[in-house]
Amino acid sequence: MPVYPKSKGKWRVRIYIGGKPKDEIFEGTKKEARNYEAAKRLEVAASDPEMLRRVVPTFSVFCLNEYKEFCAKHIKPSWWRKLKYVLVDLIEHFGTYRLDRIPQTTVATYTDARKKDIAATSVNNELRVLSRVLNVARDEFHYPASKLKLTKLRVSGKGKAIAWNDEEMARLFNATAELDVELLPILTFIANTGCRSGEALALEWSQVDLESGHIRFWPSDYWQPKNNQAREVPIGEALLPWLQAPHHHPRWVFPSRRGGRYAYWLKMRWEAVRKRAGLSGGVHQLRHTYASHFLRTKPDLVLLAEVLGHSDVAVTKLYQHMLPDHLARARNVVNFVAPVGPAAVEAHRRQRSERKATKKVQRKTVPRTVPTTVENAVSIERDNGFEPSTFSLGMQDRPWPRTHLESNSTT
């Protein structure tokens, strides 16, 4: 179903229905005309599943239709709100290409263009979204989508979580009490459970069991954990009074000032107290801080993974550098002793440096014996019967006469 130019701003879109061509006039840009043609093609092929597999839409049409419907069924709305901004950038670059005709070179072009505007981590996230879209098109909708080789950018300074110490946590709580005391309950909850901010905002009283001393986090319409698994977190002594306080809402543990549930994290209020405390980082830093203080008291990565809700202990190893005496057991396990020590090596280096300095001084004091004129070089050649090639190298402006060389060769 090709697209032909009709006039300025108008395009003739040819659609085949039942094997017969039908032309339609579309007003807009060529890109919009192609998207319209692809949408019509899918509409015609919708009645025939086998034909639908053969009709391959463009990247933009697939994202705006099938992939959007797929995300509505399989991912939470909060993640879609973030994902759609990434898709806008991807559609701008890959939108006109058919799913099965995306060139490999466009990936490198896209990466080079994006890394000038955003960080390497953000570029890698966008490449992951691109790979996810193509996988869904291939696995769920059976389109012959292109298999691209996506090379991620190198990210420096990644791999260790940074936590706040006791003094910094005290400053944070003091600043919150002075500036926004109503924020203290949820901050105290996150700091003493290590939960995510989204889990705290979606927490219901039915999940709090004061008798057993546990809080149960499970998937709901308002929050879906990354591993989609329920977990329990113990209630500590510092957190218990906050949960025994009077309830301000029959359902939500941390309701908004208007009486409902917070849809987003209180970013502006958080930034205000964080700046007052003189700290840097987001609210997720409280989760890292919980892990740090947990391992300092209870050095057990497996138990920490269960409390934090990590599906794999490998994720929890992000905090292993916070263990007391980290890697201490590996010390002195292997010891190979060299025949000499560092002092002998240093003495050898000093002697070598001294010999080098002495030779340098000697070269400066000894007079040169190399002839500096052509006449001297000729006399040496005549007396010894050979031509010293080293003498002639530095005399490009005074080449040896050919007649002179021939006369010596005959003698």
Residues 151 and 196 in one domain: no
310 in catalytic set: yes
Residues 127 and 175 in one domain: no
Tell me what the mean pLDDT of segment 377-395 comes to.
49
Burial (CB count <10 Å: 0-12, 13-18, 19+), residue 120: middle
Residue 110 has pLDDT above 70, yes or no: yes
Tell me what the mean pLDDT of segment 242-269 comes to.
90
Summarised one tens digit per residue, pLDDT across range 305-320 is 888 887 766 666 666 6
pLDDT number for residue 55 = 73
276 in catalytic set: no
**H helix intervals, 196-316:** 197-201, 240-244, 267-277, 285-297, 301-308, 313-316
Which residue, of 158, 193, 223, is where some domain finishes? 158
pLDDT number for residue 405 = 43
Has residue 187 been placed in a domain?
yes
Tell me what the mean pLDDT of segment 346-366 comes to.
83
Contact 3, 32 (CB under 8 A): no
Which residue, of 158, 182, 211, is where some domain finishes? 158
214 in catalytic set: no
Residue 206 has pLDDT above 90, yes or no: yes
Q: Strands 20-27 and 208-209: what pairing?
A: unpaired
Summarised one tens digit per residue, pLDDT across range 164-191 is 999 999 999 999 999 999 999 999 999 9
249 in catalytic set: no
For residues 283 and 276, give the distance between their C-alpha atoms in angstroms, rounded to a whole number. 14
Summarised one tens digit per residue, pLDDT across range 52-63 is 445 788 999 999
Higher pLDDT, 69 or 373: 69
Phi, psi for 387 (deg, rounded to 5): -105, 110
pLDDT number for residue 302 = 81
Amino acid code (one letter) for 410: T
pLDDT number for residue 134 = 94
Tell me what the mean pLDDT of segment 189-194 comes to.
93
Quote the mean pLDDT of the chain: 80
Among 21, 309, 280, residue whose Cα is nearest residue 162: 280
The token pair that represents 410 in the structure block: 């005959």
Strand partners, 3: 13
For residues 269 and 197, give the distance between their C-alpha atoms in angstroms, rounded to a whole number. 14
Of the residues 30, 160, 226, 348, only one is catalytic, namely 226
pLDDT number for residue 7 = 84
* H/E stretch holding 21: strand 20-27
Residue 268 has pLDDT above 90, yes or no: yes
Given phi > 0 = left and psi -120 to 50 = alpha, else beta, which region is 259?
Answer: left
**Structural domain count, the chain:** 3
Lowest model confidence (mean pLDDT) among 27-31, 166-170, 344-348, 404-408: 404-408
Residues 285 and 182 in one domain: yes
Residues 172 and 314 in one domain: yes
Tell me what the mean pLDDT of segment 251-278 comes to.
91
Per-residue DSSP letter, 298 = S
Residues 201 and 283 in one domain: yes
Which residue, of 158, 178, 207, is where some domain finishes? 158
Residues 174 and 278 in one domain: yes
Residues 174 and 314 in one domain: yes
Has residue 74 been placed in a domain?
yes
Burial (CB count <10 Å: 0-12, 13-18, 19+), residue 287: buried
Summarised one tens digit per residue, pLDDT across range 214-227 is 999 888 877 777 66
The token pair that represents 290 in the structure block: 């919980």
Of the residues 34, 287, 288, 293, only one is catalytic, namely 287
Residues 381 and 312 in one domain: no
For residues 312 and 310, give the distance between their C-alpha atoms in angstroms, rounded to a whole number. 5
For residues 53 and 144, give the distance between their C-alpha atoms in angstroms, rounded to a whole number. 8
Amino acid code (one letter) for 346: E
- CATH code for the domain of 183: 1.10.443.10
Residues 202 and 302 in one domain: yes
Contact 253, 205 (CB under 8 A): yes
The token pair that represents 126 in the structure block: 């966008």
Summarised one tens digit per residue, pLDDT across range 115-143 is 888 888 889 999 999 999 999 998 888 78
Among 294, 314, 320, 316, residue whose Cα is nearest residue 305: 316
Contact 56, 98 (CB under 8 A): yes
Sheet holding 208-209, edge to edge: 208-209, 214-217, 231-234
Of the residues 34, 40, 114, 196, only one is catalytic, namely 196
For residues 132 and 130, give the distance between their C-alpha atoms in angstroms, rounded to a whole number. 5
Residues 314 and 380 in one domain: no
Residue 403 has pLDDT above 50, yes or no: no
The token pair that represents 149 in the structure block: 């080789």
For residues 64 and 207, give the distance between their C-alpha atoms in angstroms, rounded to a whole number. 37
For residues 153 and 158, give the distance between their C-alpha atoms in angstroms, rounded to a whole number. 12
Sheet holding 20-27, edge to edge: 3-7, 10-17, 20-27
Of the residues 53, 247, 284, 382, only one is catalytic, namely 284
Lowest model confidence (mean pLDDT) among 73-87, 229-243, 334-348, 356-370: 356-370
CB atoms within 10 A of CB 190: 22
* H/E stretch holding 136: helix 120-139
226 in catalytic set: yes
Contact 52, 44 (CB under 8 A): no
Using the structure block, give the residue that is written with the tokens 């670059």. 93
For residues 236 and 31, give the distance between their C-alpha atoms in angstroms, rounded to a whole number. 59
31 in catalytic set: no
For residues 37 and 58, give the distance between their C-alpha atoms in angstroms, rounded to a whole number. 10
Has residue 308 been placed in a domain?
yes
Strand partners, 233: 215
Q: pLDDT-derived band of residue 385, with 50, 70 and 90 as boundaries?
A: low
CB atoms within 10 A of CB 341: 9
Has residue 282 been placed in a domain?
yes
Residues 124 and 177 in one domain: no
Residues 388 and 318 in one domain: no
* Residue 395 CB contacts under 8 Å (≥ 6 apart), including other chains: 374, 377
Question: Which domain covers residue 382, as residue numbers?
Answer: 374-410
